[in-house]
Amino acid sequence: MKNIQLILLFGILAFLMSCQPKATKEEKSDKTKPSTFANFYIRFLQKENQTEATAIFQNGMNQQKAEPLKIEKGVFFHNGNMVERTIPKIGTRYQTSYDGPFSTTYRFQFQDPLKGKTDHIVQMDPILDFSFEGDVSKSKGATLSWDGSPLNKNEVLVFLIQDVKNKVINFELKGKTSASKIDITSKHLSQLELGAAKIYLVRKQSNATQKPNLVILVETEFYTNEKDILILK
Q: Which residues, 6+ apart, have CB-to-CB distance to 162 below 8 Å?
A: 1, 168, 197, 198, 199
Closest among 203, 218, 204, 211 to 55, alpha carbons compared: 218
Among the residues of the chain, which ranges form H helices?
2-18
pTM for the whole thing? Answer: 0.87
Residue 156: predicted pLDDT: 98
Which pLDDT tens digit goes with each residue over 109-166?
999 999 999 999 999 999 999 999 999 999 999 999 999 999 999 999 999 999 999 9
Architecture of domain 129-203+227-232: Sandwich (2.60)
Q: How many CA atoms lie within 13 A of 154 on its CB side?
A: 12
Architecture of domain 2-23+34-125+205-221: Sandwich (2.60)
**Domains of the chain, residue spans:** 2-23+34-125+205-221, 129-203+227-232
